[in-house]
Amino acid sequence: AQPPGGAPQRSGSAADAGGPQLRAASAGPAAQPGAERERLSPRETAAASGALLRAMTPQEEQPPALPAFPKLHPIGQLHGTYIVAQNEEGLFLIDQHAAHERINYEHYYDKFGNPAEASQELLVPLTLEFTAIEAEKLADRLPQLEQAGVYLEPFGGASFLVRAYPHWLPAGEEQALIEEMIEWLLGEKKQVDIGKLREKAAIMCSCKASIKANQSIGLLEIETLLDRLAACRNPYTCPHGRPIVVSFSTYELEKMFKRVM
């Protein structure tokens, strides 16, 4: 499952795009009284019925394609948190943590699409402790965790052993991530589908694996980050829906300094 998108935020508002226009199919010529009707075969009848049904069924509107991420030339870093970049169109500020989160989210979302192949069995299983009520609920959620590549088994009382998990979980964060996934699952009032679990697990992984605010990075790291962000399916918002980039056009900057009216 994916999060909402949008272009770089600007001070002006874009014009609303019109929706697709639907055309009604014109009816064919009316049959003449007494004229012989052509008899269709069963296969032809089924094909004609399917075509008519498709014509009468409203088509699902596709979301508009996001604009391509602009090619940017990094200038530096602001307060160890924002990347400052430019191109011929103006000035851009990029939230480095949000940008890295988006990159990592799409990476882990794809990974969780087939996690079982990447699960590795632990030589020394992790032991997790729960309350009696949590343990009872968790026993019913084990199949869902296995769909995410995490394999647990009861270990007596309210304890469980983590036998295996995907080897590509962020290093050093494996137990914390598994506990967070379990906590989220136990907090859901009903069974969740694998799509929702896949999305939540990818968000958890991306948050822990991303660079943080107030973390200095060099120009080469900034260039790599911007290139990877431009390759994302949605380079404009982080997995939580926050904007990644804001921009100021050259005209807006000149207007601020009263160089233009």
pLDDT band for position 159 (cuts 50, 70, 90): very high
**146 & 218 share domain:** no
> Rounded distance, CA 93 to CA 77, Å?
9
**194 & 234 share domain:** no
* CATH number of the domain within which 142 lies: 3.30.1370.100
Give percent of the chain above pLDDT 90: 67
- For the chain, the 3-state helix, strand and coil shares in percent, each to the nearest 5, are 40, 20, 45
Q: Which of 107, 109, 98 is nearest to 197 (CA)?
A: 109
Flag the least confident range among 21-25, 144-148, 159-163: 21-25
Secondary structure class of 57 (helix, strand, coil): coil
Q: Which residue has the higher pLDDT, 112 or 5?
A: 112
**158 & 205 share domain:** yes
pLDDT band for position 7 (cuts 50, 70, 90): low
Bridge partners of residue 84, in order along the sequence: 76, 93
Domain extent for 239: 73-108+212-256
Instruction: Report residue 225: phi and psi, to 5°.
Output: -60, -45
**182 & 229 share domain:** no
Q: What tens digit of pLDDT does each residue of 48-101 get? A: 444 544 454 444 455 667 889 999 999 999 999 999 999 999 999 999 999 999
The H-or-E segment that residue 184 falls in is helix 174-187
Q: Which residue has the higher pLDDT, 219 or 53?
A: 219
> Rounded distance, CA 199 to CA 3, Å?
9
The structure's pTM equals 0.72
Domain boundary (190, 209, 228) is at 209
